[in-house]
Chain A
Amino acid sequence: MSAALALLKRDVTLSWREGGAVGTALGFYLVVVAITPLGLGPDLNLLARIAPGILWIALLLAALLSADRIFHNDYEDGALDGLITGPLPLPLVAAIKCLAHWLTTGVPLALLAPVLGLLLNLPIGTSPSLVLAMLAGTPAVSFIAGIGASLTLGLRRSGLLLALVVLPLYVPVLIFGVSAVTPFVSGPNSAWPPFLILCALSLAAIVLAPLAAAAALRTALR
């Protein structure tokens, strides 16, 4: 088994075995979406209009709160030392860990979104575009979260700090992610350009974020 595959397999296994990490992110997603109407009122038309925005914001928060998992455990128990001095270049190590986060957090959140959309009176017909948009945008979410996680490694109040640092970086993903969910943009065809831009954002994040994360990791370990 190659080194990269071994690391990916280990990280995914740890996510599954480690005391409900995946389930907690999904549960958090549900809680945030569920309490929004309690704050805004049960007007179904209003909820349907703002549903894509709520679903995206709640997803970003759920992904952020699980982001420090990406590097924190390995930093705490010393495994990060071994990962850095291994045969893989450090950006590749960071990329694999972000990929593991996407597979175990981003994808499940994206798949849960249409179900939560039902709570917000989102028409069922928008489910495919919702899932596609989220599957296209969540790689960017996970990889950018990796930057935040590596920058705030071992710091006090790292959870809040991570959120503060990363949320502004999420603005493009949020804007185009919401626009990619039809039909809440003017006209049915105009969902395609935002979707493509979302894909481009994810691809850019996959390539560039690991470089920043690797630099941040080296600094953190000094």
Chain B
Amino acid sequence: MPEPIGLAAFDLSCQRGSSVIFRDLSFRLAPGEALLVSGPNGAGKTSLLRQIAGLLPLAAGRLHLEGAPPDAVLPEFCHYVGHANAVKSSLSVSENLTFWANFLEANGASLTRALAAFGLTPLADLPAGLLSAGQKRKLALSRLFAAPRPIWLLDEPQTSLDIASVKLLDTAIKEHLETGGIAIVASHTSLKTKFAHKLELDRERVT
């Protein structure tokens, strides 16, 4: 990452069909800051993350990358880890990660680092289909290390994870923030991460 990237959102609005999920959402994240998005199911946490990732169109408002070249495309600066794990059962664990490293054009990204981040190294050559739910979740999260990207969008990342693995997740996010990255985490349980900003989607308040 050449320069630290910041993210600013102005008056974001999201619509599903004819109903408005949220409107007039604004926040600003400087490099090294994290945002916690909380709220009940259906409040729009996933929709917000998907809008930033570029998977859902903005009904209104705009997103701005600070510190990036003018022709930068926001989705290429993000890693989005949603509810689904995107794990291919017929490929081995390392084949899964190697694919993402190659596809996301991460030259020089370390496969060993990605495997070690969540303790998947002993399972590297096993077919991913044999993994338990928690291990598949960890494989999904290991994708964050397959290619370096400044903005992490994590949707309920701790699902299926045991306590030790949640600790690894906390460490990973902390290191990412310390190197100037940004993280937006949707969760309704608490993580150890120090969140600079919190967004409660029911009442649309930014603290």
Cβ of B172 within 8 Å of any chain A Cβ, yes or no, is no
Q: Which residues on B sit within 8 Å (CB–CB) of A77?
A: 84-88
Of the stretches B97-105, B161-169, B175-183, the one at the interface is B97-105
Cβ of B91 within 8 Å of any chain A Cβ, yes or no, is yes
Cβ of A157 within 8 Å of any chain B Cβ, yes or no, is no
Is B85 a contact of A81 with CB atoms below 8 Å? no
Most buried by A among B88, B95, B143: B88
Q: Which residues on B sit within 8 Å (CB–CB) of A78?
A: 82-86
Is A84 a contact of B54 with CB atoms below 8 Å? yes
Is B85 a contact of A6 with CB atoms below 8 Å? no
Cβ of A1 within 8 Å of any chain B Cβ, yes or no, is yes
Interface string of A1-22 (1 = CB under 8 A from B): 1110111001001100110000
Cβ of B152 within 8 Å of any chain A Cβ, yes or no, is no
Interface string of B45-88 (1 = CB under 8 A from A): 00000100111110000000000000000011010101111111
Is A14 a contact of B91 with CB atoms below 8 Å? yes
Is A82 a contact of B75 with CB atoms below 8 Å? no
Q: Which residues on A sit within 8 Å (CB–CB) of B88?
A: 10, 14, 77, 79
- Complex-state Cα separation, A78 to B85, whole angstroms: 6
Most buried by B among A1, A77, A82: A82
A-B contact count (CB 8 A): 75
Q: Which residues on A sit within 8 Å (CB–CB) of B83?
A: 78
Is A6 a contact of B99 with CB atoms below 8 Å? yes
Is A85 a contact of B54 with CB atoms below 8 Å? yes
Is B104 a contact of A86 with CB atoms below 8 Å? yes
Cβ of B110 within 8 Å of any chain A Cβ, yes or no, is no
Q: A17-B90, A18-B90, A77-B86 are in contact. Are A85 and B75 (CB under 8 A)?
A: yes
Cross-chain contact of A87 among B56, B104, B143 (Cβ < 8 A): B104
Q: Which residues on A sit within 8 Å (CB–CB) of B55?
A: 81, 84-85, 221
Nearest chain-B residue to A6 (Cβ)?
A: B102
Q: Which residues on B sit within 8 Å (CB–CB) of A156?
A: none
Is A3 a contact of B86 with CB atoms below 8 Å? no
- Complex-state Cα separation, A1 to B99, whole angstroms: 10
Min C-beta distance of A85 to chain B, whole Å: 4
- Complex-state Cα separation, A156 to B95, whole angstroms: 32
Q: Which residues on A sit within 8 Å (CB–CB) of B100?
A: 82
- Complex-state Cα separation, A178 to B124, whole angstroms: 49
Cross-chain contact of B102 among A3, A17, A82, A83 (Cβ < 8 A): A3
- Complex-state Cα separation, A6 to B96, whole angstroms: 11
Report A39-97 residues with CB < 8 Å from chain B CB.
Answer: 74, 76-79, 81-88
Q: Which residues on A sit within 8 Å (CB–CB) of B57?
A: 222
Nearest chain-A residue to B90 (Cβ)?
A: A17
- Complex-state Cα separation, A7 to B76, whole angstroms: 17
Q: Which residues on B sit within 8 Å (CB–CB) of A82?
A: 80, 86, 100, 103, 143
Interface string of B157-200 (1 = CB under 8 A from A): 00000000000000000000000000000000000000000000
Task: Please list 24 pairs of residues, one from A and one from B, whose beta carbons are closer than 8 Å in the complex, sorted by A's number.
Answer: A2-B102, A2-B105, A5-B102, A6-B99, A7-B99, A10-B91, A13-B95, A14-B91, A77-B86, A78-B82, A79-B86, A79-B88, A81-B50, A81-B53, A81-B80, A82-B86, A82-B143, A84-B55, A85-B55, A85-B76, A85-B78, A85-B80, A87-B103, A222-B56
Q: Which residues of A contact B (CB under 8 A)?
A: 1-3, 5-7, 10, 13-14, 17-18, 74, 76-79, 81-88, 221-222
Q: Which residues of B contact A (CB under 8 A)?
A: 50, 53-57, 75-76, 78, 80, 82-88, 90-91, 95, 99-100, 102-105, 143
Q: A6-B99, A77-B88, A81-B53 are in contact. List 14 more A-B contacts (CB 8 A).
A: A10-B88, A13-B95, A14-B90, A77-B84, A77-B86, A81-B55, A81-B84, A81-B86, A82-B86, A83-B103, A86-B103, A87-B103, A221-B56, A222-B56
